[in-house]
Structure 1
Amino acid sequence: MPKILKILQEDHRHHDILLSILENQVKDAHLTGEPDYDIVSAIVDYFLTYPAEFHHAREDKIYEKIVARDASAAEEIGHLDEEHEACEAFIKAFAAALSNVLGAGIITRSQFANAALEFIESQRRHIRMEESIFFPTALRVLTTEDWASLDAELSDTADPIFGSQKEGQFEALRQEIMDWQSTREPANDHVPGDHKLRL
């Protein structure tokens, strides 16, 4: 398995964990009245930065090589850049809803929950597409030389939550992840693989 693809698949597992925690926060808010806004804010900050600036950029490079190798295969995937733009639009919409809740804006609990759930579903839908169509197509179309070139271009940017250079602003979220993992069932319906992490 090419190094870049391993990183992207691991990213997807991490993203699914964060989406599950966010979903739990939104559902818990119906019972307690409020989610933990520190946790929610940290998840929003993460999705506004790492996936948008690094994860998607790496996928775009793979897609460019697929287009160069096999235009018909690229058509089967669809417009990945538009997919990524849609992902960013959903996280920005949810970030705006969160800002309204924390600031002086007017927003109902239902509107906030809907923005969160739309973001969660958009991300899961995107991950499913990439795992079932994009990545298999890339493995089928690209050559050993293509993957070597992509791996050589990889930056050493570390995931600020799950990577080796952990950022302090996400410390509370890391603790939430560990607490969540200690209580969850081992099965997961969104992305296959072992989600148990050491943070």
Structure 2
Amino acid sequence: MAAIIQALREEHRNIARLLDALSHQVEVFAEAGDPDYDIVLGVADYFIDYPDQCHHPKENLVYARLKHAHPGEAEGLFDLLAEHRQVHERVVRFHETIDLLLGQSDIARASIVAAARAFIALEREHMQKEEAQFLPLAERVLTAEDWAQIEAALAERRDPLFGERAEQNFAALRERLLEWEAEFGGRRGCG
């Protein structure tokens, strides 16, 4: 298996961890509880930064190589670039909703819960589609030469939350996430 596929799957697992933590906080909020707003905002900030800056560009390179080098095999594949644009728009809307919440805006609790649940469900659906269709196709048809070209095109950037050293602005979220997982046995995987 190509290293990039392993990296993308690991990133999906990490994203799923964040969605698990966010989902837990949303359910606390839905039950009129007081969620950990640091986790909620940290997850929203992470989704604004990492997927668009690091994760999606990797997938986009693999997708472009698939479409260019193996157009027949890639013909029936969904439009990943369009999906990533939709993901970006969804993340921006979700972040704006969280900003409204934290800004003490007069927004109904039910609206926030519905927006967060929809965001989580659509993010999981997007990853599952990639895991079920895109990544297996890439593994099956891309050659060693294809992978070498993809690897050469990738600029390195560490994941600011799950890399060996969490970037300073995500260090607090990393600690909160690890505490939450230890306390609640956070589910792992792309579920």
TM-score by length of 2: 0.92
1:16 matched to 2:7? The reply is no
1:176 matched to 2:190? The reply is no
Distance across 1 between alignment mates of 2:62 and 2:147: 9
Contact 2:44–2:91 under 8 Å retained in 1? yes
Distance across 1 between alignment mates of 2:175 and 2:130: 29
Which residue does 1:194 correspond to in 2?
none
Distance across 2 between alignment mates of 1:54 and 1:79: 19
| Amino acid across the alignment from 2:95 | A
| Amino acid across the alignment from 2:68 | A
| Amino acid across the alignment from 1:155 | A
* Residues 125-144 of structure 1 aligned to structure 2 (within 5 Å): 125-144=125-144
Distance across 1 between alignment mates of 2:129 and 2:160: 25
Structure 2 residue runs without a partner (length 5+) = none
Q: CA deviation at 1:104?
A: 5.2
Alignment: residue pair count? 191
| Amino acid across the alignment from 1:10 | E
Q: 1:183 to 1:34 in 2, by over 3 A?
A: closer
1:57 matched to 2:62? The reply is no
| Amino acid across the alignment from 1:101 | L
Of 12-21 and 154-163, deviating more is 154-163
1:33 matched to 2:33? The reply is yes
Distance across 2 between alignment mates of 1:12 and 1:188: 10
Which residue does 1:5 correspond to in 2?
5
TM-score by length of 1: 0.88
Q: 1:179 to 1:119 in 2, by over 3 A?
A: same
Q: CA deviation at 1:86?
A: 1.2
Q: CA deviation at 1:184?
A: 4.4
* Residues 120-159 of structure 1 aligned to structure 2 (within 5 Å): 120-159=120-159
1:109-167 CA-to-partner distances (Å, cap 9, x unmatched) read 11111111111111100110111100010011111100111122222200111112311
* Residues 160-171 of structure 1 aligned to structure 2 (within 5 Å): 160-171=160-171
Percent identical pairs in the alignment equals 36
Distance across 2 between alignment mates of 1:97 and 1:131: 28
Q: Which has the higher contact order (CA 8 A, sep 6+)?
A: 2
Q: CA deviation at 1:169?
A: 2.1
Contact 1:25–1:35 under 8 Å retained in 2? yes
Q: 1:107 to 1:75 in 2, by over 3 A?
A: farther
Instruction: Give the aligned CA root-mean-square deviation in angstroms.
Output: 1.8
* Residues 95-106 of structure 1 aligned to structure 2 (within 5 Å): 95-103=95-103, 105-106=105-106
| Amino acid across the alignment from 1:148 | A
